[in-house]
Chains A and B, each alone.
Chain A
Amino acid sequence: MSEKLRDLHDDVFGRMRARGGRQWRIAFGVCGLFTLLLVGSLSWTIYKGIGVWGTNMPAAWAFAIINFVWWIGIGHAGTFISAILYLLEQNSWRNPISRLTETMTIFAVVQAGLFPIFHLGRPWFAYWLFPYPDIMGVWPNVKSALPWDAAAVSTYFTVSVLFWFTGLLPDLASLRDHAPTRRQRILYGLLAMGWRGDARSWRHYKVTYLMLASIAAPLVISVHSVVSSDFAIGLTPGWHTTLQPPYFVAGAIFSGFAMVIVLAIPVRFFYRLEHVITDRVLENCAKLMLITGCIVAYGYMMEHFGAYYTGDADERSLMFGFHPTSIAFWMMISCNVLAPQVLWLRRARRSKVVLLIVSLLVLLGMWLERYVIVVQGLLRDQLPSAWGNYMPTIVDLGILAGTLGFFGLLFLAFLRFMPFIPVSELKEEAVLE
């Protein structure tokens, strides 16, 4: 038994420790350049004002909010996999990718968190959205969805980080114990926080992990529900509907699984982990993507039905008229509704190429969905005299590309320095078998 566990340990750690070499460095360099683009774009924004973006009247929200919702949505699959699947005892296909997806979640939320701050007219006062005791006795306005947002996202981030870090402890201890250099020994030793692996620690650990999973699971539902209320509480046509929370949550998990697949396929290819991240794992992800995709499609239907059934002129003309965003809408339908239908076929779910293409399309489609939701209603609200157009600027595009780069940079760094497969959980699974 211990022989088998040692083999598993050596195999997986060995593969994880294998240097990325040239490919890793090139990828890291490219992501670094895009990160610099992000830093540059945000600095320019701070220096000049958000007039350097394409936002205007009536589209006072655009790229920043679209990107925020998109990144937060991506951040949903991680906790869904690691917490909800843990609670549902889906460990056989959850464990191999749980660390990857949790990490994805945290880094995605980091990207998402940039936007609510930098989209402010005066970002240096972003902390006013939090209820802190100040001498003026002024509190945030709890009727507005934005303080809810600030609370929900910061809670989600905190819990996700705790959950992720708690899960990392046994593997960090392993890294410490097998560290080849003194520097690594000290670094991983500090991170492992004195983990010894004795029975008492393991007992506390399991309880803590379960508790954190229980706390994190409802957050998966609540965070995007709260994000959706940024729109649902508004008066803007296309925003003001009770459909938003479930529709947003389904969409978030949908895009989250797409991102999991987009990350998992190259990781298992480059690190030769096909026997750990098996085809079955990917297939299950694809099935969940298909299910949530169908829920999203149902959401689109209900959105249009609601507009028709209420008889509201503004809603109807928004849903059934031709608008500047109509092209984006039909692209979104193609990516989010049509493309995933191929996953009904087992052969498609088993084909890495098909999976990768469909997942990328879903990611694009979900970005377009947010574009349509945010911009369409603003451009065509109740008063035709105020109708307008929206065009992003180079800075907007730079920031979006920059967050992709920054996300990649963080993820590549994690792959290089941290145990991205939860070896202790794999071992536990093997023992149980």
Chain B
Amino acid sequence: MKGDLHSLVPRVEVTRRAALKLLATGVAALETGCFERPGDREIVPYVQEPPELRPGVTTRYTGVLSLDGFGYGVIVDTHDGRPTKLDGNPAHPATLGGSLPWLQARILDLYDPQRSREPTMLGQPASWAAIAAQLRALPRGPLWIVMPPQTSPTIAALLARIAARHDLRVVTHAPLARTAVYRGHELVYGRPLEQQLDLARADVVVALDADLLGTGPMAAAWSRAFASRRKPEGGPRSMNRLWVAEPMQTPTGTLADERLPIAAGEIAALATLIAAEVGVALPASLGQTAQARLGERAASWARHVAADLVAHRGASAIIAGDRQPPVVHALARMIDHALGNPVVMTTPAVLDPLPTHGLDELASAANPGAVLVLDCDPLYTAPHLHLAGVLARSTFSLHAGLYANATTAACRGHIPLAHDLETWTDPRALDGTLAIGQPTIRPRFEVASIIDVLAELAGVTLDARTLVHDQLRGQAALDVFDTAWTTALRTGVVAGSAFRAETITPTWRSPATDALAALLAPPPANTVEVALAPSPALHDGRFAPNAWLQELPHPITKQTWGNAALMSRATASALGVSNEDLVRVRGPVGEAVLPALIVEGADDHAVTIELGHGQHGPAIAAGIGTDVYGLGDAMILRATVSKAGGTRVVPRTQIYMAEHGREIAPLVTLAAYQRDPKLAAHLRGDQASLLPQGGDRFKGVQWGMTIDTSICSGCSACMVACQAENNVPTVGPEDVAKGRAMHWIRIDRYIEEERVVNEPMLCQHCENAPCEYVCPVNATDHSPDGLNEQVYNRCVGTRFCANNCPYKVRRFNWFAYEHEDSRSLQYNPDVTVRSRGVMEKCTYCVQRIRGAEHRAIVDHRAIQPGEVVTACQAACPTGAIQFGMLDEHDTAFATMRASRRRFEALHDLGTRPRTQYLVKVTNPKEGA
């Protein structure tokens, strides 16, 4: 027995060596549980918090966004180090505090999980350091840099240093660059110049195929200036007159007092006729040709414009669209000159206004050397040049972009580009004003900015901040530079950096005559005009991966997720197509098949198609809409359009655009309004009712909103601002087509013949709210300060409230829409993210109201008028949306609320809405 027991115990000879072995094994085993994970090195709690970081409190920084080189000053709201919301910087001349849809949506790009996350070289992961080393070591041969227009002085300086090292050829490439404007000004001024418009001083504004309030580098600022002249209640000069000639309805066109649908190719003739009428000295033959080419209606329209311009000598503005040929811009300046308009011409902010090298030059280069494509996608935007070939021939090629796109695949290397909020920049606005962009978040992965890439090429070892800082110090003779630098960062602009006006007068020269004569020649027979246009949301396509912008209803067609061949009813019936029928467009180079969409107010001789769709890039943009860059090499093409057979769903948020006899969006002329200022009286005030009205349920401050439909251009910046502020989800094209878009504010558009009204529609916060009494569980109720409130966690989702809302502003979470990826970092922490199965709608930005209340309580004071600004109100470039307290005085809101144009939508229902509107007033010319 004894022996058996012993045999069970392992016999270990405990020697010194064995003991050491055991000891070592034990220590090693213990150690394995104690290793330090890479990444969490040491954790230091905020015993003393950094002064600028206060949990739960919004911190605001200035920043600058760039688009086609121009800077747009923004204010960045950050929560705990996360930027969550952008708004225009009131100090910046391009925004003046207003927004544009893309400006609001750029915050989503910052957290987009589709962003390219890793530098690559020959398809293999690489590091920025390795790529930078390759850039530094590039042989001193030819070097091509393809990038959008730039205005940054830092970039200019770096390019100069690169040019000293390399045989540098910069190709400025942007499909929507303003090159034609500069060329046109060169025709009459002898060199490329930029015009600085002051719309606030113009009594008559003539927009020739120019969407000056909707697109372009000054759209937000010009909208504000324009709106300041649309106050029918004011004195005799309070209302300007807007003449718009355009092939398609645009936001500008919806505000026109007199609008002429005309093909973009006829604008030259129209401008010639106007010029001849106002006394521009042109060869007489041109005027006759123009007259012959225009129809009677257009010719008569031109004469009316001319008469109005002459009647307002020295106080008008003539603007030609960016896509119009140079000579039309030249004509516009000659008209200005003939009328004695105070035209301000400055140096263009763009470094290379008349590009010295074209993409075609690069495409045909036999030995291109190194090619760098920065922040653009020429393989998509210039497909006819087949740039893949030259990239393959190059000795080195690198693409830098926010996303991997068509060009990425053709390049050897790729580096993720920094978002504007992740880097230092210093772009200029159109008027030259310099703004310093500071990073408001550290990049989540390895990125480089254009300045970083150029610095490596220039052999500069300084970082972007130092470069921008030193550039400003070197450029501006500032005595106390450190203070000035801080002030520039705090205010968002470098004071006094705008360009000075040049004293120069235009002269009409013979090259202009020749160019104009060529334009006035009759177009080829059997073709129709196809006018390509920027997408109001996606611009040239660079914003296509942004879901907010994809789902933003088009201001005119209300289409989301894609583009269409926009045509008039007459054009459609001539082609034998109706809405959503596919048409084939054969341009000079390529063809495209896309659905037709009928637009009231479109010209009968032009089909408009918007750019920026049909990409092969990131998931969201891929396969959405149709690419029309391949049709031809110009914006205004002659093409053939035919029925293709088949249909494609066009997801729209509004299908019916007529009022059907209901008085929902009234419109009157200024003359009629002055004759009868009480014309809206029957659309507001109390309704006879058996029920007790008002009562004591309203206590304290009472909130309300007034929207002036006279100055709403339908630009839709408010919709994206609301989406960013209130964590409003996107649902995708299929669900939009089903009627499930989630926007809390939408722009209803009513058009009958030439009568267009944009009516932003959001929760009306009815005092007698039809939604409230039908909710079985009290999930929607009224606050004492007059808000119709939605209690998400009480909502069971019967949707009775939505049925009973006559304004149809309630939105239902049909699925679980909340983001669980990096996009959730954008969520506003002050707003609940709604779960599946609950109803939601506009809250009047209740989080901002309550925030203001809390601040007022802390400071022992009452809420000040103007203290609460809703997201839509802040974004509105024209100030059409005003929010405030019903009893406040001497504010924009109080003035609008007191207007006799005030009316309630669906007033006869007796809902007593707190959101009210002002009747649209237009100022047409007598007898026109």
Residues of A in contact with B (beta carbons under 8 Å apart) = 48-51, 54-61, 119-122, 125-126, 128-129, 138-141, 143-147, 150, 230, 233-236, 313-314, 317, 378, 381-389, 391
Contacts and interface: CB of A to CB of B under 8 A. Distances in A.
A384 B774 CA distance: 23
Contact of B837 (A50, A55, A57, A143): A50
B445 interface: no
Interface string B752-783: 00000001010000000010011111100000
A57 B801 CA distance: 11
Contact of A121 (B654, B748, B773, B812): B812
B657 A385 contact: yes
A140 B812 contact: no
Given A58-B739, A120-B796, A383 B776 contact: no
B798 A49 contact: no
A125 B815 CA distance: 17
Contact of B812 (A60, A236, A314): A60
A382 to B, nearest CB: 4
Nearest to B773: A143
A384 B777 contact: no
Contacts of B839: 121
Nearest to A390: B739
Q: Which 7 A-B pairs have the closest CB atoms?
A: A121-B797, A121-B837, A51-B814, A386-B808, A146-B776, A56-B739, A60-B799
Contact of B774 (A58, A119, A128, A145): A145
A313 B776 contact: no
Contacts of A120: 796-798, 837
Interface string B624-666: 0000000000000000000000000000001111111110100
B661 A146 contact: no
A386 B558 CA distance: 12
B776 A144 contact: yes
A57 B739 contact: yes
A235 B770 CA distance: 7
Contacts of A386: 654, 807-808
Given A121-B796, A389-B655, 12 more contacts: A49-B815, A57-B802, A120-B798, A121-B797, A121-B812, A122-B838, A138-B777, A144-B776, A235-B770, A235-B909, A317-B660, A385-B808
Contacts of A383: 662, 664, 748, 761, 806-808, 905-906
Contacts of B660: 317, 384
A141 B909 contact: no
A122 B797 contact: yes
B776 A381 contact: no
Most buried by B among A119, A144, A388: A144
B401 to A, nearest CB: 34
Interface in B729-753: 735, 738-740, 748-750
A56 B651 CA distance: 14
A55 B798 CA distance: 12
Given A121-B799, A146-B800, A233-B774, A384 B664 contact: yes
B450 interface: no
A27 B738 CA distance: 37
Contact of A57 (B659, B740, B806, B838): B740
B773 A387 contact: no
B778 A387 contact: no
Contacts of A54: 738
Interface string B196-228: 000000000000000000000000000000000
Contact of A385 (B739, B749, B803, B804): B749
Interface residues of B, number: 53
B776 A140 contact: yes
B828 interface: no
18 contacts: A57-B739, A58-B803, A119-B798, A121-B795, A121-B797, A122-B838, A128-B777, A128-B794, A140-B777, A140-B778, A143-B773, A143-B774, A146-B776, A234-B804, A236-B803, A378-B803, A383-B905, A384-B664
B806 A235 contact: yes
Given A49-B837, A236-B803, A385-B761, A122 B906 contact: no
Contacts, number: 160
Nearest to B778: A141
A61 B803 contact: yes
Most buried by A among B654, B658, B778: B778
Contacts of A119: 798
Contacts of B738: 54, 56, 391
Contact of B803 (A60, A140, A388): A60
Given A234-B803, A236-B804, A385 B813 contact: no
Contact of A49 (B794, B836, B905): B836
Nearest to A144: B776
A20 to B, nearest CB: 41
Contacts of B836: 49, 121-122
A84 B466 CA distance: 92
A389 B579 CA distance: 15
Contacts of A147: 776
Question: Which applies to chain A's interface (DSSP): helix, strand, loop or mixed?
Answer: loop
A129 B774 CA distance: 12
B654 A50 contact: no
B185 interface: no
Nearest to A388: B739
A274 B836 CA distance: 54
A337 to B, nearest CB: 27
Nearest to A240: B804
A145 B761 CA distance: 28
Contacts of A122: 795-797, 836-838
B773 A141 contact: yes
B664 to A, nearest CB: 7
A201 to B, nearest CB: 43
Interface in B419-440: none
B775 A141 contact: yes
B904 to A, nearest CB: 13
B551 to A, nearest CB: 15
A54 B740 CA distance: 10
A168 to B, nearest CB: 34
A384 B812 contact: no
A122 B838 CA distance: 7
Interface string B796-836: 11111011101110111111100000000000000000001
Contact of A387 (B655, B807, B812): B655
Contacts of B654: 385-386
Interface in B449-492: none
A119 B837 CA distance: 10
A50 B836 CA distance: 9
B675 to A, nearest CB: 26
B774 A389 contact: no
Most buried by A among B739, B811, B815: B739
Contacts of B796: 120-122, 125-126, 128-129
A57 B664 contact: no
Contacts of A317: 660-661
A234 B770 CA distance: 8
B774 A234 contact: yes
Contacts of B797: 50, 120-122
Contact of A382 (B662, B759, B811, B812): B662
B658 A384 contact: yes
A384 B658 CA distance: 7
Given A51-B735, A146-B800, A235-B770, A56 B662 contact: no
A385 B760 CA distance: 11
A139 to B, nearest CB: 8
Interface string B232-245: 00000000000000
Contact of A129 (B739, B740, B776, B905): B776
Contacts of B815: 48-49, 51
Nearest to A381: B806
A144 B800 contact: yes
B814 A50 contact: yes
Given A54-B738, A56-B739, A385-B750, A141 B777 contact: yes
B790 to A, nearest CB: 13
